[in-house]
Structure 1
Amino acid sequence: MKILRILSLFCFIATTVLTAQNKQITLEDIWSGTFRTEGLDALHSMKNGQQYSVLNFDRANGATTIDIYDYKTLEKVNTLVSSSSLNDIKYFTDYTFSDDESQILLATEEESIFRRSSLGKYYVYNTKTKQTTLVAEEKIQEPTFSPDGNKIAYGLNNNLYVKDLITGNTKQFTFDGEKNKIINGITDWVYEEEFAFVRAFDWNADSNKIAFIRFDETDVPEFSMDVYGKELYQTQTVFKYPKAGEKNAEVSLHIYDLNKDKLQEVKVEKTYSDFYIPRIKWSKAGNMLSAIYMNRHQNELDLWMIDAEENKSYLTIEEKDKAYIDITDNLTFLKDKTFIWTSEKDGYNHVYHYDKKGKLINQVTKGNWEVTDYYGYDDKTDRIFYQSVENGSINRDVYSIKLNGTDKRRLSQKEGTNNADFSADFSLYINTFSNATTPYLYTLNDAKTGQVLKEIKDNSDLKETLSNYQLSKKEFSTIKVNGNDLNMWIIKPANFDATKQYPLFMYQYSGPGSQQVANRWNSANDYWYQMLAQQEYIVACVDGRGTGLKGADFKKVTQNELGKYEVEDQIDAAKLLGARPYIDSSRIGIWGWSYGGFMSSNALFKGNDVFKMAIAVAPVTSWRFYDSIYTERYMTTPQENPSGYDENSPINHVDKLKGDFLLIHGTGDDNVHVQNTMRMVEALVQANKQFEWMIYPDKNHGIYGGNTRLHLYTKMTNFINRTLGDKL
């Protein structure tokens, strides 16, 4: 009897374990936060180099705190500020320290404008007096402390203001700002989206001058979007949006002298009249401003140094490229007035050291691999810290190297994706590691050796949750396509049987310089692919020509013909995969979002004998509809390159459609306008081609909010099951 009970108990445990490990992923799991990872929010290294701050949210009382932790013990040593102790602030969503860390700028009531821009009410919290000061009654943009901490500059209604924190007085110093006409110190839509910054003003080191870019978008064509909302009548959002070949905003560079209360325009001697100013930055010298100018084609870049006192300009670096030049934030001024710069002028992105006049001192990093992030320079040890793909293009590692290019050290040890956040004195860093099988692991590391000193977070709760699910391995490999070894991952059903045939569902993005095949932890899409694998699909992703981190030649081969070589690679990769005995070549589908939607549409139309179905979410359907900076960087203008625009845009190939096509877009997409889908729909109708489509009212390029993502992925899953799920 006792033996029988033991056997019964063993069978119960075995059955429970087996059942737990076979739990199936659902769309509700994915979009309810079941697989959410833990991180360190708004991490800031304190000036002393021994502590760091993190933004925490106390769900019990709804309060936000800025907590201070000791690097070496990882123990919380102090709560610097809690919204529960502030009368005016229920909670705050972000924070910024003044340089001396005696004051903190707290962001509240933030509301998004576009992808990176927002409005908010901001308070200054004094850590000594424990008092808060409202910066402005109105919602403002990009408030920024002066280096001495005595003032804050900000944007309001397209003009610039300075608040004196000692006297409490506020001074407006630009007056011509007007919506859809003139913007001072805040970028226009296309700069924000494509040059990836919003604050177009900067304080000098002496806190007595502000440099800013002025945008005159008076003659830029307007784009309007209906906002349906919940009222009886819809409203409209109208904003300036320069499409390819159309008029850009005219930009100019200005400096405001606070002591003299004087504005002056900066002019440099360019060889081109239509230009961009994608970056400005003051050097460590109080009167020396740097500014990057680029021609409209973005294949010429000039770095100018401007003496603000004498209003004289000096051309320091001049780069030219047969295709285009990428913009980064890696310009670093050193105490001896030399500077560090990154460039891919030798065919790969590397670090360079120049003297103050722009003469090359030395190329710091070299090799057939890319520097993917620049962390900074420690003058005490004379070392540069950076991230690169030297250990394989799907991996990321943290390195240090002497400024003269010697004594390179690989600091990270685990193979996968490593990213570093250094202490202010560069003695320690917090490493964020993940790979395809390991969720985010946060460790404290020694900056000299890379040695792990302590674990901070390991996402053990997520690992425990995932142990209950049936998961497939993400297999990394390369596939030989059109003479190139292309990076690929593939996910097969957990119970994969090589004697069976499975439908293949391909994902890609494929945009210039992008990467989807990377050894890193799951995104929400990865869990969706796992769910599809549970439903007996094979899912694969191939990074074709034009994608990044394999050198400039591989990346820039698509120049002037976006959608040609990338589409050829996806079609030919599908053919090669379809030839494998375990893949049913009659059931191959492809999907993508944004550039990926442009690609999946093209692949279905041009590869109509290969792909049975495609899903295109928020796709560009003609490059004539997209913005000037992005499109012309790769295509020049449609006036110069009409065939490049038209021969590779899917809207011009709808007559080739044979398979099943699902087209999805949000009407509030300020980036890839719903115009793209509307014009595609009309082209398909006139070609008498049947298709399916879904419109999400007022949703932007990300198509989210409430149940939107769950609905979207349910729609796509049902479409996949209906078109690929059953053998013909």
Structure 2
Amino acid sequence: MANMVGGMTTEPLSFPRRQARTLRFTLGAPRAFTVAPDGSRVVFLRSRSGTDRANLLWVLDVPDGTEGGESGGRERVAADPQALLGGAVERLSAEERARRERSREGGAGIVGYATDRAVELATFALSGRLFTAELRAGTARELPVPGPVLDPRPSPDGRLVAYVTGGALRVTGAEGEGDRALAEPESETVTYGLAEFIAAEEMGRSRGFWWSPNSDRLLVARADDAPVRRWWIADPARPDRAPQQVAYPAAGTDNADVRLFVFGLDGARTEVVWDRARYPYLARVHWSAAGAPLLLVQARDQRSQLYLAVDPDTGATRMVHADEDPQWLDLFPGVPCWSPGGQLVRIADEGGARVLAVGERPLTGPQLHVRAMLDVSDDDVLVAASAGEAAATPETGEVHVYRVNDLGVERLSQEPGVHSAVRSGPVTVLVSAVPDRPGAQVRVLREGKATATVASYAEDPGLSPRVRLTEAGERRVPCAVVLPTGHTDGDGPLPVLMDPYGGPHGQRVLAAHNPYLTSQWFADQGFAVIVADGRGMPGRSPAWEKAIKDDMAAIVVDDQIHALQALAERFPLDLNRVAIRGWSFGGYLAGLAVLRRPDVFHTAVVGAPVTDQRLYDTHYTERYLGDPNRQPEVYAANSLIDDNGLVGAAEPARPMMIIHGLADDNVVVAHSLRLSSALLAAGRPHEVLPLSGVTHMTPQEQVAENLLLLQVDFLRRALNLG
């Protein structure tokens, strides 16, 4: 698309620039849905256009269903950050920037909100200030409280708002009256009401406090990171600035000390008691009117966990259920919780399948691989699931929404694709991404019938991926093969670009359009691009995911080779010119590929790689590789480098481009610097591209664009493509 500058038409933006400017074509798409219990309103976030990063808070007034068909409903703005800030530039505290990094949030404006039980009042932080929005009236205003404000949440009855500032948990009236501190940190290393690094980065727990259903007290996490080892992250391009101190719990070292308290509105506290020495990880907290507060706590090795009910008057806990697994226990969205009837709802690996269980009874079997619990009602449970090992037909890359109860299983989403849902009362918001159209469609269903859609303002990518979803080899490795636009069988074999993530919990093969935009762009530069999800990836069975225990390196590389060689029998692949690229775990996998199997892989782009597993965090790394103090040989076998240099490197030496953000506090740049030093000592060809001021994300527009262009240039040179 051409651009107008000063009345003159300029050259159209390149795909890499458009993708960077639109945050991978996610800007302008609606997200973060909340449905009112009476079904009258759907609340969501969306920016004004596909290039605007600032999200507004919107309300859709849902039709009552008597009109029939997708009659639309009325959308209206409940809060506009530009108006609320008077056009001022948004300013983020260091704590808010860290919180967004943990959640991979690249947007601006209102990036998160919380509502009361009736979904009549919403609260959110904007530029470190506290705002509320009356969702029926569509009016918003600021509450005068100390800041910078983090994670404000209204009480279920809408009369109070709790929030965190300066590590303290405070409460104010919904009109701004009576602001007071409930819990104040005893030292600079203590915070109340916030998720510690490990919970936010690895457990999927972004919260640190929870209101009681009666709005009369709160459960509050206290995190003290004094035991955590300190690291220092400097910006070499800004030598005038002091390094940033980061409390980083590397594998085998101490975590933050996390406790839980019940706080009354008068500040009185009661500590919740469980065996924290045996179960130090506070993984989940649930508090609803259906039962006592419910905790899920995990052992450090993640092979055992307890579901605990809390007596909020005494802090005592009783065990509701216990799980054990010889490899590890996964955490899942939406569980544990109580059903309205007071039964425990959980997702568990039982009988070789991942099942939904209510009480002690599994409600699903090996035909489904349950991924998340979306909602539970008196009549059923809504889940997201993919086809299990025993499914009649494979559904490569598909995720569907199902209703589950004692009578059986019903699939709500019909089109092949990736679907999710949010439900309350009679209304369900169904979000569907499918292979043959860009973005995602959002439909509002009342009693199962479509009654409205939520518009997306996301830009059209102008690129239609030519994707073939398949399973490769006798292992049936899920794969996506992307060929150049217009390529025909008579055009001859193509150089190959493997484009995996390859690591646990990072599924890349999805039956949707937008996940392959970058892959298609690479394909159009003259490659056959292959995305392969080998063992360790989610979506098939617990055994498939847990096969990598203690042996990530060898298995993930072997599955990439297995897929490549099987696909070469069906697609025009030139196995004498094979490249691999990846970021994070994908960068680690790319480095493994060229160092250990240079007979297969001829060059690699290694982005933000975890080269030494001892430098990555506790909850993630120890889940797969155990304690490095007890299994140092396992860590050495799964690293690219050790104290003596490269581990398991083979000949011939292959060229590598190593890319890393110098401000990365997740995979610190020491990983890449140590790899480069080891490569240099071994006389192996490589290039290093340091990204000043860039974290583990690369949201900067020019950086993101040029990263793609530089990678293509490097791959062409390395493979002698001209």
Normalising by the residue count of structure 2, what TM-score does the alignment of the two structures yield? 0.86
Shift in Å, 1:582: 3.1
- Does 2:614 correspond to 1:610? no
Q: 1:305 aligns with which of 300, 303, 309?
A: 309
Q: 1:236 aligns with which of 230, 238, 243?
A: 243
Shift in Å, 1:346: 3.0
Q: 1:137 aligns with which of 135, 139, 146?
A: 146
- Match for residue 314 of structure 1? 318
Q: 1:502 aligns with which of 491, 494, 514?
A: 494
Max radius of gyration: which structure?
1
- Match for residue 31 of structure 1? 20
Provide the rounded CA distance (Å) in 1 between the counterparts of 2:84 and 2:142.
Answer: 11
Closer, same or farther: CA 602–98 of 1 in aligned 2, 3 Å: same
Shift in Å, 1:620: 0.3
Shift in Å, 1:35: 7.7
- Does 2:706 correspond to 1:711? yes
1:70-219 residue pairs with structure 2 within 5 A?
70-71=62-63, 72=65, 73-76=71-74, 79-81=77-79, 93=110, 94-109=112-127, 120-126=128-134, 132-165=141-174, 168-179=177-188, 181-219=189-227
Comparing 387-396 with 500-509, greater Cα deviation is found at 387-396
CA displacement, residues 416-460 of structure 1 (integer Å, 9 cap, x when unaligned): 2222233x31x2323222222222352535465x55455554889
- Match for residue 420 of structure 2? 419
Structure 1's unaligned 5+ residue stretches are 1-22, 110-119, 355-359
Paired residue type of 2:308? W
Shift in Å, 1:720: 1.2
- Does 2:477 correspond to 1:477? no
Contact 2:147 2:166 in 1 (8 A): no
Q: 1:263 aligns with which of 269, 278, 299?
A: 269
CA displacement, residues 401-422 of structure 1 (integer Å, 9 cap, x when unaligned): 22x2x14222221112222233
1:458-537 residue pairs with structure 2 within 5 A?
462=460, 466=462, 471=464, 473-480=466-473, 483-493=474-484, 494-498=486-490, 500-523=492-515, 526-537=516-527
- Match for residue 435 of structure 1? 434
- Alignment: residue pair count: 668
CA displacement, residues 328-387 of structure 1 (integer Å, 9 cap, x when unaligned): 232232333223222123332221111xxxxx2x211122431122221232xx122222
Closer, same or farther: CA 281–363 of 1 in aligned 2, 3 Å: same
Contact 2:661 2:694 in 1 (8 A): yes
Provide the rounded CA distance (Å) in 2 between the counterparts of 1:637 and 1:84.
Answer: 49
- Match for residue 112 of structure 1? none
Q: 1:323 aligns with which of 323, 327, 339?
A: 327
Provide the rounded CA distance (Å) in 1 between the counterparts of 2:560 and 2:368.
Answer: 24
SS at match of 1:173: strand
CA displacement, residues 553-573 of structure 1 (integer Å, 9 cap, x when unaligned): 111011112212111122333
Between the aligned residues of both structures, percent identity stands at 21
Contact 2:588 2:609 in 1 (8 A): yes
Closer, same or farther: CA 369–43 of 1 in aligned 2, 3 Å: closer
Paired residue type of 1:437? D
Paired residue type of 1:372? R
- Match for residue 221 of structure 1? 229
Comparing 240-249 with 527-536, greater Cα deviation is found at 527-536
- Match for residue 563 of structure 2? 573
Structure 2's unaligned 5+ residue stretches are 1-11, 66-70, 91-108, 388-393
Q: 1:400 aligns with which of 403, 408, 417?
A: 403
Shift in Å, 1:597: 0.6
SS at match of 2:183: coil
Q: 2:355 aligns with which of 350, 354, 375?
A: 350
Shift in Å, 1:717: 0.9
- Match for residue 661 of structure 1? 656
Paired residue type of 1:266? V
Comparing 246-255 with 317-326, greater Cα deviation is found at 246-255
Shift in Å, 1:140: 1.7
CA displacement, residues 533-565 of structure 1 (integer Å, 9 cap, x when unaligned): 223211111111111111111110111122121
Q: 1:689 aligns with which of 674, 677, 684?
A: 684
- Does 2:278 correspond to 1:273? yes
Provide the rounded CA distance (Å) in 1 between the counterparts of 2:23 and 2:627.
Answer: 46
Shift in Å, 1:292: 1.5
- Match for residue 13 of structure 1? none
Question: CA RMSD for the aligned pairs?
Answer: 3.0
Closer, same or farther: CA 340–150 of 1 in aligned 2, 3 Å: same
Comparing 243-252 with 627-636, greater Cα deviation is found at 243-252
Paired residue type of 1:315? M
